[in-house]
Amino acid sequence: MGIDISQFLETFYEESFEGLDIMETALLEMDTGEVDDEAINTIFRAAHSIKGGSGTFGLNSVSDFTHVLETLLDEMRDGKRAVTKEAVELMLITVDVLREMLIALRESADVDTDRVAKIHSELEIMLKGEAAVVEATTELTPSESSASAAGWVVNFRPHVHMFKTGNDPVRMIKELSDLGEMSVHCNVDGLPALDDLDPEECYLSWRIEIKGDNVAQDAIKEVFDWVEDDCDLDISSQHAVAELSAAVAVEATPVDEPVVTSAEPASVPNTPLESPIPQTPSAPKAPVTAKKAAGTESGSIRVSIDKVDALINMVGELVITQSMLNQLGEDFSMDKLQRLQEGLAELEQHTRELQENVMRIRMLPISFAFNRFPRLVHDLSQKLDKKIEIKLSGENTELDKTVMEKIGDPLVHLVRNSLDHGIESPEVRKANGKPETGTLELNAYHQGGNIVIEIADDGAGLNTARVREKAVEKGLINENDQMSDEKINELIFHPGFSTAEQVSDVSGRGVGMDVVRRNIKDLGGGIELKSEFGVGTKITIRLPLTLAILDGQLMRIGNETFVIPLVSITESLQVKAEYVKSIAGDAELYKLRDEYVPVVRLHDVFGMEPDTKELIGGLLVVVEGDGHSAGLFVDELMGQQQVVIKSLESNFKPVDGISGATILGDGTVALIIDIPGLVQLARKKSHRAKPRGTIAA
């Protein structure tokens, strides 16, 4: 019995993507003009592994494409070829193309064969020199696009309803035969079982090769004029593109699929190039759609053996404790009560350790998010004609996989902002007495129950006066408002706010910053900005280590229990009359040292009946969220505990002021308070609040 190697295909893809990351990193660190044997060998080994693996799994287009790169690297390794800037840039593009090919093949999507052929040709030209250039010029040129001596390859995929429009694919194929010598390859992959076959629906697609001295592309298009909206049509010249397209076809469909051809057996080459074309996402093939949907997110994670061993050991301890408790329960008497309590304490400890070990499995080093930025800085610095050095630190700081995936886009936006509008051009930097090369620093570290990510640049910084001017112009603040520089700079987080003089296709400091802040808030985090004009900007992001478990403070209002995230609490106190102030009888403030914090009566916000409405002598929990502090008036503070967060939106519906829910030990449900959302909700309700009979200023 043969071994089904397709079960290892996903592992090959994961290892290939890791290899491409290694290649990209080594290329970015490579010095041009001299051969770094270690770097070249690292890139060569990664390319060789991808080539060998792709060949094993029948991904011949990947194998053939990588072979040219491997040959180029081999010549560099042997000292036959110098490492030039052009070669490094081309190899970086080659890494991009390989990544795109592998992603498309894994998701059963179309490979951009034109781009593949173009880069393949450029690699051949670099490898073979003038000989390849001469050979390349004999291929089809733009001026010859109307006719091709080599012929054309037509990929014709009728939509399933084509018969119902009165059109017949066979007639179109017969009409094409009048243009020149033709071979037709029919893909029957979409045919259903006989019982499910509908004679009024079209399940087939065709790959048609037309050979002739002067076959015009317009003549081919004319045949399909009436059905251009009822089919997927691709017409390509029959050169390297056709070969690569055919090679991709082998990989995208099973090898043993039936092939129907109108050509004579002797004239059909015995080669995989004649295999049927792959189904495109638009074709009626449900499995393809399912694969594409599944491939939108990473569904697997690599775990070190140390973490697995720790988990297994912890499960063993749990089994021992469970066995001991079972024995106590079989013949229990009061003299065994102390032993039972000790056993339950052990069970609690082991359960907590097991929970921590399980959570560690989901933790990944933030280098997975940071690794994309050296390439981003490299590409954008060339595009913007700037000299920029990137410095990464804290790459081994671990973060939950879910948080990691969701923080990627905001980080990219912030980095692009720094590169585009933060760091100045070499000329401007030199004129300002700065080094020509700007510096972008990314740092990550743990602080309490959070992970802190810092993005800092030594660029132009924010022009606070300009920000204030724009804010007044947009009506966000009054001209006479007294605000600190930090508060003024934070106005760039307002939707649509920007100080950019012109729109950039890279970014715009301030453009989309409200989206960045909102995305970070959705993760339960916060963002701070510090900037000094002419010196630079530093953005600090604080995120929870995980979105699944929360350290919370239980508190009670009336008969209901709520959870406040522990990281949001700054202190709790008993209300004293002399520190309570009210404004026009509508809003209450509490003087806390040198500042006044608004008092939020949670029973009013949630429409509940509390134990008492008398503020004096009651409990106030001071919390901080989204840069604002508030005092929550509650009936009772209870214990602290870790809670498992359950989404309200997916199980019920979104609720203002509530970020989720959890199930407590007694089986009751407790709502988890969204501190930033609650402060906003309380502000809205304060406009409708009635005067209270409490102490006034």
Asked whether residue 492 falls in the same domain as residue 593, the answer is: no
Judgement on whether residues 153 and 121 belong to the same structural domain of the protein:
no
Name the domain count of the chain. Answer: 5
135 is catalytic: no
Q: Which residues are within 8 A (CB) of 285 and not within 5 positions of it... i.e. 6 or more apart? A: 189, 190, 279
Residues 163 and 273 in one domain: yes
Are 69 and 161 within one domain?
A: no
Residue 538 has what pLDDT? 93
pLDDT tens for each residue of 601-614: 888 888 889 998 88
The single residue of 155, 417, 443, 489 carrying the catalytic annotation is 417
Is 446 one of the annotated active-site residues of the chain? no
End residue of a domain, out of 95, 110, 137: 137
Quote the pLDDT of residue 425.
92
Active site residue 417: yes
Beta-bridged to residue 637, according to DSSP, are: 555
Q: By the 8 A CB rule, do 284 and 205 touch?
A: no
Cα separations in angstroms, 399 against 363, 391, 549: 5, 20, 13
Phi-psi bin for 528: left (phi > 0), alpha (psi -120 to 50), beta? beta
Q: How far apart are CA 518 and CA 648, in angstroms?
A: 19
Identify whether 193 is part of a domain. Answer: yes
pLDDT in tens, 181-238: 888 888 888 888 887 788 888 888 999 988 866 778 778 887 887 777 788 888 877 6
Neighbours of 223 (CB within 10 A): 19
Looking at the domain assignment, is residue 371 inside a domain?
no
Q: How confident is the model at residue 239 (pLDDT cuts 50, 70, 90)?
A: low
> What pLDDT does 128 receive?
78
The torsion angles phi and psi of 24, rounded to 5 degrees, stand at -60, -45
Tell me the percentage of the chain whose pLDDT exceeds 90: 14
**pLDDT confidence bin for 457, thresholds 50/70/90:** very high
Q: Which residue among the candidates 14, 48, 519, 628 is catalytic per the annotation?
A: 48
The answer for residues whose C-beta is within 8 angstroms of residue 458's C-beta and 6 or more apart is 423, 434, 438, 439, 535, 536
3-state SS of the chain: helix, strand, coil percent to 5? 45, 20, 30
Burial state string for 302-313 with b = 16 or more CB within 10 A and e = fewer than 16: eeeeeeeebbee
| Other CB atoms within 10 A of residue 182 CB | 21
Count of other CB atoms within 10 angstroms of residue 196: 7
Is 300 a member of any domain?
no
Q: pLDDT value at position 392?
A: 92
Q: What is the pLDDT of residue 556?
A: 93
Residue 446: CB partners within 8 Å, gap ≥ 6?
397, 452, 545
Phi, psi of 167 (to 5 degrees): -100, 145
Q: What is the CATH number of the domain that holds 388?
A: 3.30.565.10
Rounded distance, CA 384 to CA 423, Å?
A: 10
**Same domain membership, residue 201 and residue 231:** yes
- From the candidates 14, 15, 67, 70, which is the catalytic residue? 70
Do 323 and 417 belong together in one domain? no
| Amino acid identity at 625 | G
Judgement on whether residues 153 and 274 belong to the same structural domain of the protein: yes
Rounded CA gap, 507 and 591, in Å? Answer: 42
* Better-scored residue on pLDDT, 263 or 652: 652
List all residues 6 or more positions away from 353 whose beta carbon is below 8 Å from its beta carbon. Answer: 314, 317
Regarding pTM above 0.85, the answer is: no
Identify any residues that bridge with 565 across adjacent strands, giving them in sequence order. 552
Own/partner contacts of 345-354, CB < 8 Å, gap of 24 or more, are 346/321, 347/318, 347/321, 347/322, 350/314, 350/317, 350/318, 350/321, 351/318, 352/642, 353/314, 353/317, 354/311, 354/314, 354/315, 354/318
Residues 206 and 324 in one domain: no
Please indicate, yes or no, whether residues 498 and 597 belong to a single structural domain of this protein. no
CA 294 vs CA 39, 223, 659: distances in Å: 35, 38, 27
Separation of alpha carbons 594 and 579, rounded Å? 11
397 and 499 both lie in a single domain: yes
Residue 372 lies in a domain: no
pLDDT in tens, 139-190: 434 433 444 446 788 888 898 888 777 778 888 888 888 788 888 888 888 8
Please tell me whether residues 53 and 195 are part of one structural domain.
no
440 with 407, same domain: the answer is: yes
Band of pLDDT at residue 5, cut at 50, 70 and 90: low
- Position 224 scores a pLDDT of 84
Q: Which residue has the tokens 């393949």?
A: 120
> Would 61 be classed as within a structural domain?
yes
Smallest CA-to-CA distance from 441 within 383, 395, 389, 509 is with 389
Among 137, 171, 195, where does a domain finish?
137
Task: For the chain, give the mean pLDDT.
Answer: 78
Q: Convert the pLDDT of each residue in 398-444 to its tens digit.
A: 888 888 888 888 898 899 888 988 899 999 999 999 999 999 999 99
Q: What is the mean pLDDT of residues 52-72?
A: 85
pLDDT, tens digit (0-9, with 9 covering 90-100), for 264-321: 333 333 333 333 333 333 333 333 333 333 333 456 677 778 888 888 888 888 888 8
Amino acid code (one letter) for 592: L
Q: Give the range of the structural domain holding residue 326, as residue numbers without chain letter.
A: 305-361
Is 378 within the bounds of a domain? no
pLDDT digits (tens, 9 = 90+) for 7-61: 678 888 888 998 898 899 888 888 777 667 888 888 888 888 888 888 878 888 8
pLDDT, tens digit, 9 for 90 and up, residues 569-580? 889 999 998 888
Which residue has tokens 């074709």? Answer: 283
Is residue 42 domain-resident?
A: yes
Over residues 354-368, the pLDDT tens digits come to 877 887 788 888 888
Distance CA 644, CA 577 (A): 38
DSSP per-residue codes, 656-682: TTEEEEEE-TTS-EEEEE-HHHHHHHH
H or E stretch covering 630: strand 628-634
